[in-house]
């Protein structure tokens, strides 16, 4: 059984040891509007190539799990309206049924592991939603980080989530949360969530060494690297707080639940910030792609 189909570029990189960085596709189909989603997908791939690594955007298309997409496939996903959002629970069902779906952080980690890719760049991970004590809405991304050995570079958890609860779950699950170059926990659109991150590292080499160490010790699971958004692009916490509160109230008022929550909140915050949240989102994803390429290059020079 063929588990995944690499693009020619990814296949070549995997066989000759060129660093590879995995990318998710839910950010394209459910995280940003067209055409910015397509532009960003291409820009991040370009940033990773400029950093000496090969990008592998993951998606299920007509029942095939692809590691690395052609530009036509990327464009198809960016324009499609009815693509499934796949996580650990539904990825195999989609593939077996010949369906098409975009991969979340959890599903992209699974795809990366199958392909032998150790580093993955995204925007923000899913986490524990505000009010989770009633809704039980905790993203499968957190449990994936606990069991799949991939280093994920994100800009922190979005402030639409309950960040302290998200950190508690990650700690319980044994996932290292490593802030890059600062003590504070980044909060996606803002450089600080106003709380300390559990761990800090200042170089890509140190992050790669921790990845290798973890695997040598036989510890399951990955690492979460939280990389603050570049200063010029951040929206400060005080500006965002009322907007997030309003978006969360609107989601409740419209009865949005389950998989619909994250895409709804992202779209609502985009409207309420007149698009500024999207500009910030683009900047942070590209920043994460660049750091991930450095970590992948460092991993290539360390024995695992
Ligand atoms: N954060 C973003 N944009 C996104 C997502 C998160 O800024 O598009 C997506 C990612 O694919 C993440 C998923 O894995 O949302 C989490 O969804 P849920 O909360 O339903 O698990
Ligand atoms: Mn959820």
Residue 265 pLDDT greater than 60, yes or no: yes
Site to probe by mutation for ligand 1, drawn from 23, 26, 158, 166 as the one with most ligand atoms within 8 Å of Cβ, is 26
Q: Which residues contact 74 (CB under 8 A, 6 or more apart)?
A: 28, 38, 41, 42, 57
**CA 155 to CA 186: how far, in whole Å?**
6
The verdict on whether residue 183 carries a ligand-binding annotation is no
| Residues with a known catalytic role | 24, 158
Residue 262, ligand 1, Cβ within 6 A: yes
Distance CA 124, CA 225 (A): 11
Find, among 94, 10, 11, the residue nearest to 59 by Cα: 94
The model's pLDDT over 222-245, given as tens digits with 9 standing for 90+, comes to: 999 999 999 999 998 899 999 999
The predicted model gives 157-168 an average pLDDT of 92
- Ligand 1 atom closest to 85 (CA): 11
Residue nearest to atom 20 of ligand 1 (CA): 259
Which residues have CB under 8 Å from 12's CB, separation 6+? 18, 54
Nearest atom within ligand 1 for CA of residue 140 = 21
Report d(CA 152, CA 210) in Å as an integer.
Answer: 13
Ligand nearest 33 Cα, by number? 1
CA of 31 to the centre of ligand 1 (A): 7
User: pLDDT tens digits, residue range 173-224?
Assistant: 999 999 999 999 999 999 999 999 999 999 999 999 999 999 999 999 999 9
Question: Does any ligand 1 atom lie closer than 6 A to the CB of residue 156?
Answer: no
pLDDT tens per residue, range 95-145: 999 999 999 999 999 999 999 999 999 999 999 998 999 999 999 999 999
- Ranges of beta strands (E only) in 26-150 are 54-61, 64-67, 84-86, 101-103, 119-121
Query: Which pLDDT does position 262 carry in this prediction?
Result: 87
Residues 6+ apart with CB under 8 A from 285: 27, 40, 44, 121, 122, 123, 155
Nearest ligand, measured from the Cα of 131: 2
Q: What is the pLDDT of residues 14-64, one digit of tens each?
A: 999 999 999 999 999 999 999 999 999 999 999 999 999 999 999 999 999
Please indicate if the annotation marks 215 as binding a ligand.
no
Q: Over 80: is that where the pLDDT of 168 sits?
A: yes
Checking if the pLDDT of 303 tops 60, the result is no
* pTM, to two decimals: 0.96
Check whether 139 is labelled as a binding-site residue: yes
Q: Is the pLDDT of residue 79 over 80?
A: yes
Within 10 A of 241 (CB to CB), how many other CB atoms are there? 12
Q: Which atom number of ligand 1 is nearest to the Cα of residue 129?
A: 19
- Whole-number Å distance, alpha carbon 276 to ligand 1 midpoint, is 19
Task: Judge if the upstream peptide bond of residue 96 is cis by omega within 30 degrees of 0.
Answer: no
Judge if the beta carbon of residue 104 lies within 6 A of ligand 1: yes
- Higher local confidence (pLDDT), 64 or 160: 64
């Amino acid at each position: 059984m063929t588990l995944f189909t690499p693009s020619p570029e990814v296949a070549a990189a995997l066989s000759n040891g060129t660093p590879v960085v995995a990318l998710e596709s839910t950010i394209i189909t459910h995280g940003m509007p067209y055409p910015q989603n397509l532009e960003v997908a291409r820009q991040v791939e370009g940033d990773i190539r400029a950093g000496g690594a090969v990008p592998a955007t993951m998606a299920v298309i007509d029942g095939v799990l692809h590691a690395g997409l052609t530009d036509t496939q990327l464009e198809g996903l960016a324009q499609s309206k009815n693509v499934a959002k796949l996580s650990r629970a539904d990825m195999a069902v989609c593939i077996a049924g010949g369906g098409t779906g975009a991969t979340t952080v959890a599903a992209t980690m699974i795809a990366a592991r199958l392909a032998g890719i150790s580093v993955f760049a995204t925007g923000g991970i899913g986490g524990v939603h505000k009010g989770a004590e009633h809704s039980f809405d905790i993203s499968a991304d957190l449990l994936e980080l606990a069991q799949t050995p991939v280093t994920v570079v994100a800009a922190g958890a979005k402030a639409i989530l309950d960040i302290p609860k998200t950190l508690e779950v990650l700690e319980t699950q044994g996932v290292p949360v490593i802030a890059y170059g600062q003590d504070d926990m980044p909060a996606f659109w803002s450089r600080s969530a106003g709380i300390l991150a559990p761990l800090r590292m200042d170089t890509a080499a140190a992050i790669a060494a921790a990845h290798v160490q973890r695997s040598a010790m036989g510890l399951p699971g990955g690492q979460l690297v939280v990389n603050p958004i570049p200063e010029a692009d951040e929206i400060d916490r005080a500006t965002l707080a009322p907007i997030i509160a309003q978006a969360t109230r609107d989601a409740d008022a419209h009865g949005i639940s389950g998989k619909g929550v994250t895409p709804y909140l992202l779209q609502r915050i985009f409207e309420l910030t007149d698009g500024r949240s999207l500009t910030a989102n683009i900047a942070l994803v590209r920043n994460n792609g660049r750091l991930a390429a450095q970590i992948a290059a460092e991993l290539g020079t360390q024995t695992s």
